[in-house]
Chain A
Amino acid sequence: MKTKNLWRHAYIWVLIVFTLFPIYVVIESSFNSTGSLASSSLIPSNLSWVNYKALFNNPAVPYTTWIRNSLIIATANAIISVFIGAASAFAFSRMRFKGRKAGLQTLLLIQVFPSFLALAAIYVMMERVYTVFPSIGLGSLGGLLLIYLGGSMGVNAWLLKGYIDTIPMELDEAARIDGASTVQVYWLIFFPLAAPVLAVTALLSFIGTFNEFVLASLFLQDINRRTVAVGLQQFVGAQFGQNWGPFAAGSLLAAIPLVIVFLSLQRFIIGGLTQGATKG
């Protein structure tokens, strides 16, 4: 048994080194005052907070503005898209109407087309919108949010419908006998019951938006409108050796809260992942 477990441990440790290597380098260089990644040894040296300070004092790097933009757009998208998704999922799960099945199928098919495949079209469209409504056109966070929201029904409706199907119908029926309307059943019975799963869905959507790069980089050219993803990419891409330290610090600061949330909620998130697998 001992020798049998040896390969397991060896394999796991190889993967752990592989996993931790970049993470370690980033942490080390975020504290390295030379600010470059030129260090040839893995032993930390020249430790200081210089890089972290640079993030908040350098007017050419509006890091706090980027974080704020990312938080605004990711939060708005998470909340609105969950409301939209929950309402759609409720209708698909609890109501029987003409076109329901076709609607669900269409939704699934539209969802498999990533929206950025229509990148050129979205760009031209929003360029035109800009000439009339600058605040929701190209270059604005509002316009980007609308594009993100466009896809939210497809993703969330399917995710949530699976959960709503598991809430027993008897609850609805009891409320109905008491004279509740469908809208009341939705707000007063279903919504509180589904709150935990809605929160997880919102979180997933938050992480997804936080991570989104393609549309954001095409949309947000102005340095003060950028999200963290776009801002850091442009920043580090400009002068690699020089900007590496602050970049490492900025990445860590933005990633740590997300990683903590992810690890503490991993049970729910992974549950959703594997559910899809085992159902097939």
Chain B
Amino acid sequence: MNRLAGFTGLPAQIFKISFVAIVDAVLISMFFASTHKHATPLAAVIAAVLIATNFVYFAKFTLPFKFLFPGLVLLVVFVVVPILYTVSMSAFNYKTGNEISKGQAITQLLQTGLAPDAANTTYDMILGKKDGNYAALLTDQVTHDVFIGTEKGTTKLVAGQFKMNTYGIADTAPGFHALTPEETAGADSLISTLKFPLGDGSFAAPQSADVAVRLTQSFVYDKATDTLKNVSLGKTYKDNHDGNYANIADKTDKLLPGWRAFNNFGNYIHLFSDSTVRGPFIGVFIWTVSFAFITVVMMFGVGFLLALALDKKLALRRFYRSILILPYAIPSFMSILIWNGLFNRQFGAINGLFHTNIDWFNSPWLAKGVILLVNLWLGFPYFYLISTGALQAIPAELEEAASIDGAKPRQILRLIKLPLMLQILSPLLISSFAFNFNNFNLIYLLTGGGPTDVLHGKTAGATDILITYTYKTAFGSNEQNLGLACAISMIMFFIVGSLSIWSLRRSKVLDGF
């Protein structure tokens, strides 16, 4: 086996080790990049892949996994993890306004809860440094009181402790060094972050390089009771366990932003109990199922009939066949966009050809008809091909035996061929149903789910199927409700999954090895 020599022994070992070393180097640097940015889940995934790689390629007994590993890693990280993540997201109130974590929400609420005090106190400010830290000389524009502030606190200065410039603004005090204009310009981005506490919970906040205002903190967070108090209005807000702080006196008075909160089966309950969500969901569900069913029946009918028509030796058979499978060969997204153009009201060839002016995509029923027609165009060649295959698989003896027994061709077709075909093709029919159940491209590119009755506040279009509805729910232009979208995804996982398992059981694929 000289031919094999190059693949064994030392060279192979060196090749393997250097390959794994490169992978290790990449993964380790990625690991540190993630920990550096505090992306803990990402770092954990990378570490797991790193450990698994080295284990699989250096342990002795893992031979099959040496082959399976690359695919397995990608499958787990990019298919299984997103599915599990979908499960977890579906249990959270995760939508526009509830996207951040609770800690971030509290920080933001405290920040936005700042308000000028009742007197709108404004200070003329000279920025400088005291003992090496940023400091400010603040002159109240109304009372002309003068304060010196650092980030630690503010003290009032009495006459003699400061000097005023010609504009009546204090600019000199012992230990205080005003910033030069260049230094002020350099500290530009820093100025807005400075706060000079005034001792009573309020503070002077610079608004520009020479003006500061007195801001009071209207919200106070009490960690022990997990409540936010609006000091100026005297209201108390409590965690409503759905991702918001709500007024204890009036539950509809919520503070924004909220956070993504665990709400258990909240999204599912919402889906079935809230009529504004349930209504569209049920409508979409019914159309999804009927669309998938009708379209498969239509495509199968036309394709099967074509298989019968082209079954016998017919002149030009190969030529016909090459033309008729064209829709299957053309990239489907293009075909769908082209059909979209053909049915365009103003410019479309269909209206142009028949001299009509029909607004195909603005009527729910016409739009549905267009969808079925276009999908028939896209799909009948596939059904023709599989029907031909199945017809050839039916033993010729059956047909002969039946005709000897006196069966007419039509009877043979109805009583022998069709039942057998349906039996042979049932796994493919079911998988085609599952495919069309999720035929996102067709709906999204052809009608966009429309027409949508926006005037009556409808969120789902007349031709939306579950997958496009999910897409709109998650990435829509008004509100993005990722939690609800994941809950709908879960229901679809369940439907498509059980259908597939059922059909796999039937076709005995799962026992076949």
B55 to chain A, nearest CB (A): 16
A7 to B440, CA, bound (A): 36
A19 to B41, CA, bound (A): 51
A20 to B349, CA, bound (A): 13
A152 to B72, CA, bound (A): 10
The B interface is mostly helix, strand or loop, or mixed, namely helix
CB pair B67–A153 under 8 Å, yes or no, is: no
CB pair B424–A278 under 8 Å, yes or no, is: yes
Interface centre among A5, A182, A274 (most CB of B within 10 A): A274
Asked if B212 is at the interface (CB within 8 A of a chain A CB), the reply is no
Closest to B1 in A: A178
Residues of B53-93 contacting chain A, CB below 8 A: 63-68, 70-72, 74-75, 77-83, 85-86, 89
- A244 in contact with B320 given A112-B500, A184-B7 (CB within 8 Å): no
A31 to chain B, nearest CB (A): 15
B379 to chain A, nearest CB (A): 12
CB pair B334–A11 under 8 Å, yes or no, is: no
Chain B residues whose C-beta falls within 8 Å of the C-beta of A280 in the assembled complex: 423-428, 507
Chain B residues whose C-beta falls within 8 Å of the C-beta of A200 in the assembled complex: none
CB pair B68–A150 under 8 Å, yes or no, is: no
Chain B residues whose C-beta falls within 8 Å of the C-beta of A129 in the assembled complex: 42
Chain A residues whose C-beta falls within 8 Å of the C-beta of B333 in the assembled complex: 211, 213, 229, 232-233
A134 to B423, CA, bound (A): 50
B72 to chain A, nearest CB (A): 7
B1 to chain A, nearest CB (A): 5
A22 to B338, CA, bound (A): 7
- How many residues in A have their beta carbons less than 8 Å from beta carbons of B? 112
Residues of A94-153 contacting chain B, CB below 8 A: 95, 97, 100-101, 103-105, 107-110, 112-125, 128-129, 131-133, 146-147, 149-153
CB pair A244–B489 under 8 Å, yes or no, is: no
Asked if B497 is at the interface (CB within 8 A of a chain A CB), the reply is yes
Chain B residues whose C-beta falls within 8 Å of the C-beta of A276 in the assembled complex: 427-428
- How many residues in B have their beta carbons less than 8 Å from beta carbons of A? 112
Asked if B22 is at the interface (CB within 8 A of a chain A CB), the reply is no
Asked if B482 is at the interface (CB within 8 A of a chain A CB), the reply is yes
Interface centre among A108, A112, A125, A275 (most CB of B within 10 A): A112
A119 to B476, CA, bound (A): 13
- A153 in contact with B497 given A117-B467, A131-B39, A259-B329 (CB within 8 Å): no
Contact with B along A146-171 (1 / 0, CB 8 A): 11011111100100000000000000
Chain B residues whose C-beta falls within 8 Å of the C-beta of A199 in the assembled complex: none
Q: A8-B314, A122-B82, A211-B331 are in contact. List 13 more A-B contacts (CB 8 A).
A: A15-B306, A36-B347, A37-B347, A90-B67, A116-B467, A117-B86, A117-B470, A132-B37, A150-B79, A153-B75, A210-B331, A255-B334, A263-B322
The interface of chain A, by Cβ under 8 A from chain B, is 5, 7-9, 11-12, 15-16, 18-23, 25-26, 36-42, 83-85, 87-88, 90-92, 95, 97, 100-101, 103-105, 107-110, 112-125, 128-129, 131-133, 146-147, 149-154, 157, 175, 178-184, 186-188, 207, 210-211, 213-214, 218, 229, 232-233, 236, 240-241, 244, 247-248, 251, 254-255, 258-259, 262-263, 266, 270, 273-278, 280
Q: List 26 A-B contacts (CB under 8 A).
A: A18-B377, A37-B344, A37-B347, A87-B68, A88-B68, A91-B67, A91-B68, A95-B63, A101-B513, A107-B75, A109-B497, A115-B78, A117-B467, A121-B82, A121-B83, A122-B78, A128-B42, A151-B78, A153-B75, A188-B3, A211-B441, A236-B337, A255-B330, A259-B330, A263-B325, A277-B393
The interface of chain B, by Cβ under 8 A from chain A, is 1, 3-4, 7-8, 12, 30, 33-34, 37, 39, 41-42, 63-68, 70-72, 74-75, 77-83, 85-86, 89, 302, 305-306, 309-310, 312, 314, 320, 322-335, 337-339, 341-342, 344, 346-349, 352-353, 355, 377, 380, 382, 385-386, 388-390, 392-393, 423-428, 431, 434, 438, 440-441, 444-445, 467, 470-471, 474-475, 482, 485-486, 489, 492-493, 496-497, 500-501, 504, 507, 509-510, 513
